[in-house]
Structure 1
Amino acid sequence: MKKSYFKRIVLILILIIIGIYFIPAPKATFFELYSINDKYSKSLKEFQAKPTKEVTVNGIKWIYYTGGSGPKTILFIHGMGGAYDLWWQQIIEFEKSYKVISYTLPEKINSLQKTSKGILEILKTEKIDKFYVVGTSMGGYIAQYLVSTIPNRIEKAVFGNTFPPNNLIAEENKTKSKILPFLPEIVISKLGKKTLDKKIIPAAKNSKLLKAFLPSLPFSKKQFINRYNIVIDKFTVNPTKYNIKRIPKLIIESDNDPLIQPQLRQQLRSLYKNANVYTFHNEGHFPYINASEEFNNVLRNFLNEKNEYLEVEKIITSYFKGRKNANLEQLQLAFSKKANLYTTHKNKILIIPIENYYKKVLLDGVQQANTSILNGDVTGNIASFKTKFEYPEKSYMDYLTLLKIDSGWKIISKTFTKIN
């Protein structure tokens, strides 16, 4: 009798545990949590009413939003707990003058490579070649991956409240990541709420907007685990490679970010030494939500800045075309009137005045040559670039020095040598 009773008790306990395990995390909408009828709630309601689009990649459905019709495109990438509407305040502002795209990362996606594949399919569907990328947290990490893998398609990059490739996150969460798959979804949700209440919201000056918006985001255990796998998915980036270095970058951080350690913030700045850095003061991990006006101004100013690498490349392209086409006008656009050319002749320095160079170009006439920029640096109003001319039977290496003056960038010296 006692044995039978004990079995029933054990069975009931097992059923209770199973029941708890499969209880979904409680969900509430933003409007259930935020009773204030202000510009934030009105704008979010209007934004969420707008239609989204779908694209299927390897049987997985991606939901995304696109709006605006400007000549340039901004791709917004959300963080670990986010969705496409995380960026509503930026999208409403920037779709006035840009085309904007924001997606929700599907629950099944668990790697950077799969993430990139979905993003590329969205861009292909929307017929977008080059774009600006703006990512936050996990999205900032994904943005870095895109910069490292498709740099020629990215015109500018923003890494917001994020981290570089590292071992620290995986090491610190080694035990938790092993336990996580066995925890009920409701427990994971409660742990997340504890972090929200004790760290994230206080760091954002107890923002009521953030306190209501974050819990309203879609959440599942599978999503959480898969997105964590993206966060610790390693890749290699070489910021000194020219096609990466030439991309203007902006690092946005907060001095009290509760989710990104100071050590990781420092590593990010050290990795991208030529990036601009903007530091929010006491705004936490989500300044684009709780300090949206300041965030939008910072982003707008960065996107409006000229890419000096592109400006220099235009001048070098004029030099390339002028030399190959024996076009004096294009060469004069590229070179300063006071420019000289330098090389060696019989182990002595040979200085060639620019006018003598022009005469030689006209004498040689049109040339068949492949030209390329191999490397370059821009610092303030000076630039130094390494280029190559490959003719059918010979090749030359050029080192160009440029200055930025009132009329724009000009080549002030060319030092060259024959390499075969």
Structure 2
Amino acid sequence: MLPGALGSADSFYKQILYFSRYGRVISANYPLSSDPLVLAESLKNLLVHLHVDEIVLFGTSLGGYVAQQFYEKWPDMVRKLIIGNSFVDSSRILSTAMFDPTLARAHSADEVLALWRQRIERNVAANGSSELSDVTLDFLRTPANAEQLKARLLTLANADKAITEKAAQVAIIDCENDLIIDPETRLECRHRYPNARIYSLSEGGHYPYILNSAQFDDIIATEIAGYWQHISPKS
């Protein structure tokens, strides 16, 4: 499982707790690099170190793009590719004020972390806290994550259009109320994989694994049921 720009391996705590009862779950962080291929190669090195030959690969947001890059280079290792709330082209995301790469380039890592923390804290002050805001602020209040955040924001700027055309088994999860991945970007991802199974959720925003975890976990259970004999959707 690969997190997005404002997440970490811990972001999938609900899925780790649930699915680790049935099989091996590897939730990975990234090295300090803004090169998507370096991030993909770091996952390959981790899997070699862990003696893992085949995986069902899930990535959300930036992690979904890295997952596609991984599959492009090592298709024989991926039994199924699951892309969550992600993209094949980051250009529309970069055009928004939140992810404008000039912000990351013009500020130090500590300043970038502080700017994002202040943004989330203002939202909490206006709308109240939530499980998602608590998780996000936990990441943004950790000084050690400053360099990570800046590197990931710059990685988005280096995310050229994904070129994967191989015949992997692909599933796509997206949310109608996602405020980061706009409808055009969602459709572009679907069109890139015309044979993919599509799961469109009405709720979950950009973080269904936290905000709509029951339905999200059911989807993952459905997709991995053929590989883990004893797993089945919660419902």
- Coarse TM-score class (shorter-chain normalised): 0.7 to 0.9
1:84-139 Cα distance to aligned partner (Å, 9 max, x none): 11111111111122211112213x22212211221111111111111100111111
- Which residue matches 1:133? 57
**What are the within-5 Å matches in structure 2 for residues 104-115 of structure 1?**
104-106=29-31, 108-115=32-39
Given residue 291 of structure 1, which amino acid in structure 2 is its aligned partner? N
Between the aligned partners of 1:149 and 1:199, the Cα distance in structure 2 is 40
Aligned positions, number: 223
* Matched-pair contact (CA < 8 Å) for 1:157–1:250: yes
CA gap 1:199/1:259 in 2 versus in 1, 3 angstroms: farther
* Aligned with 2:163 (options 237, 261, 278): 237
* Matched-pair contact (CA < 8 Å) for 1:165–1:236: yes
Between the aligned partners of 1:77 and 1:139, the Cα distance in structure 2 is 5
Q: Could you say what the CA RMSD is over the residues aligned between the two structures, in angstroms?
A: 2.8
- Which residue matches 1:248? 169
* Aligned with 1:142 (options 63, 66, 71): 66
Between the aligned partners of 1:208 and 1:173, the Cα distance in structure 2 is 23
- Which residue matches 2:223? 302
Given residue 143 of structure 1, which amino acid in structure 2 is its aligned partner? A
- Which residue matches 1:119? 43
Between the aligned partners of 1:274 and 1:200, the Cα distance in structure 2 is 40
Question: SS at 1:148's partner residue?
Answer: helix
Given residue 127 of structure 1, which amino acid in structure 2 is its aligned partner? H
Superposed displacement of residue 223, structure 1: 2.1
Given residue 215 of structure 1, which amino acid in structure 2 is its aligned partner? L
Given residue 111 of structure 1, which amino acid in structure 2 is its aligned partner? D
- Work out whether 1:167 is the aligned partner of 2:91: yes
* Matched-pair contact (CA < 8 Å) for 1:141–1:231: no
Question: SS at 1:178's partner residue?
Answer: helix
CA gap 1:206/1:278 in 2 versus in 1, 3 angstroms: farther
Between the aligned partners of 2:29 and 2:21, the Cα distance in structure 1 is 22
Between the aligned partners of 1:137 and 1:297, the Cα distance in structure 2 is 19
**What are the within-5 Å matches in structure 2 for residues 369-408 of structure 1?**
none
Unpaired segments ≥5 residues, structure 2: 228-235
- Which residue matches 2:192? 271
1:138-164 Cα distance to aligned partner (Å, 9 max, x none): 111111111211111100011011111
Q: TM-score, normalised by structure 1?
A: 0.48
- Work out whether 1:211 is the aligned partner of 2:137: no
Superposed displacement of residue 222, structure 1: 2.8
CA gap 1:174/1:137 in 2 versus in 1, 3 angstroms: closer
* Matched-pair contact (CA < 8 Å) for 2:85–2:173: yes
Between the aligned partners of 2:48 and 2:211, the Cα distance in structure 1 is 33
Question: SS at 2:26's partner residue?
Answer: strand
Given residue 122 of structure 1, which amino acid in structure 2 is its aligned partner? L
Between the aligned partners of 1:200 and 1:207, the Cα distance in structure 2 is 5
1:11-38 Cα distance to aligned partner (Å, 9 max, x none): xxxxxxxxxxxxxxxxxxxxxxxxxxxx
Between the aligned partners of 2:7 and 2:96, the Cα distance in structure 1 is 23
CA gap 1:112/1:188 in 2 versus in 1, 3 angstroms: closer
Q: Which has the higher contact order (CA 8 A, sep 6+)?
A: 2
- Work out whether 1:85 is the aligned partner of 2:7: no
Between the aligned partners of 2:41 and 2:164, the Cα distance in structure 1 is 21
* Matched-pair contact (CA < 8 Å) for 1:200–1:284: no
Between the aligned partners of 1:300 and 1:286, the Cα distance in structure 2 is 17
Question: Between Structure 1 and Structure 2, which shows a larger proportion of helix residues?
Answer: 2
Question: SS at 2:81's partner residue?
Answer: strand
Between the aligned partners of 1:187 and 1:137, the Cα distance in structure 2 is 23
Between the aligned partners of 1:251 and 1:200, the Cα distance in structure 2 is 30
CA gap 1:153/1:254 in 2 versus in 1, 3 angstroms: same
Question: SS at 2:25's partner residue?
Answer: strand
Superposed displacement of residue 196, structure 1: 3.5
Question: SS at 2:28's partner residue?
Answer: strand
Given residue 249 of structure 1, which amino acid in structure 2 is its aligned partner? V
Question: SS at 1:159's partner residue?
Answer: strand
Superposed displacement of residue 253, structure 1: 0.7
Question: Between Structure 1 and Structure 2, which shows a larger proportion of strand residues?
Answer: 1
1:264-285 Cα distance to aligned partner (Å, 9 max, x none): 1111011111111111213211
* Aligned with 1:103 (options 8, 28, 50): 28
